[in-house]
Amino acid sequence: MTKRVAVLGSTGHTGGFVIAELRRRGLTPIPCTRDTDLDHAFQQADAVINCAGPFVATAAPAIDAAIRAGLPYLDVTAEIEVVTDTLTAYADAPVPIVPAAAFFGGLADLLATATHLPHTEKILIGYALSSWHPTPGTRATGRVSAQRRDGRRIAYTGGRLRLLDGDAPHTEWTFPPPIGTRQVIGEFTMADSATIPTHLDTPEIATFMTTNAVADLRASGAFTDHGQSFLVEVVTRSASGERRAVARGHDIYAITAPLVVEAATRLLAGHGATPGVASLGARFDPADFLTAIGLDCFDSSGSPV
């Protein structure tokens, strides 16, 4: 029998990609809106994917309904506070819960897992986007997170997430060719700084975003994703050396669909389906997972991850 997946936020931009990806894989999506009776809809489903932001309003009710129905739950949130709330509140949940199974969160988590070194001292994550004119949903979730932080920035340092005052640092990052050295803004902390420490021991995670993408994000222009490309580089450092992994692709919203749907497909097949909250990197072999979704990923030598 074909597996059925309830998709919250199915009419949104990312939700549309997820619906299409489910159908491409032969799964049956059950579209859900904010007005859907979740308990009724989930009775018809085998898993739940939540694409409905801001997730501070939707994650807990959807998780609770998934638990009542006995279904695996996944979401694509980039809201760090929602990820940390989920990790705390649902650690002992009787069903698998996978937060931030998306471009911001899951992808860098997988790359960090692939580059893990014993006694890691620091993980650095560099994002290079050709442009970033975000969806209205992204802008809304960003405003909610900023309000929860009272305008302060967040960073993972000293073994925990901390709220910091003042401006974020500006520096440079030398990405692999053809991007090369670019101006970046530091402490551009994303959901991976919440998920990575749950299964990889590191006292420091530093995240950087190219300044052109930050300028686009802060501008008031209309959403567009035409021709957007991305490169994500993760560097793991320890006293014994350094390892790097890089992922390239197009459209940060579109790539979220294969990430979260691949995870859902594996959970439905019983792979990585341990109850409780765990990220993509904690549940799945990163090289196998990245290969399965066809993402162009390689290490510092140019070999596939």
Q: If pLDDT is split at 50, 70 and 90, which confidence band does 141 have?
A: confident
Same domain, 54 and 91: yes
pTM of the model: 0.95
C-alpha–C-alpha distance, residues 109 and 115, integer Å: 10
Same domain, 246 and 157: yes
Residue 22 covered by a domain:
yes
Same domain, 150 and 245: yes
pLDDT of residue 10: 96
pLDDT tens, position by position, 200-245: 999 999 999 999 999 988 886 667 666 899 999 999 999 999 999 9
3-state secondary structure 133-177: ECCHHHHHHHHHHHHHCCCCEEEEECCEEEEECCCCCEEEEECCC
Residue 41 covered by a domain:
yes
C-alpha–C-alpha distance, residues 103 and 191, integer Å: 10
Same domain, 62 and 72: yes
For residue 277, give Cα distances in angstroms to 92, 170, 274: 8, 34, 8
Same domain, 241 and 109: yes
pLDDT tens, position by position, 71-111: 999 999 999 999 999 999 999 999 999 999 999 999 999 99
Domain count, the chain: 2
pLDDT of residue 140: 87
Q: Under a CB-based contact definition with an 8 Å cutoff, are residues 292 and 265 in contact? A: no
CATH of the domain at 267: 3.40.50.720
Q: Which domain holds residue 272?
A: 4-102+255-290
Same domain, 246 and 259: no
Residue 215 covered by a domain:
yes
Same domain, 37 and 123: no
Same domain, 177 and 84: no
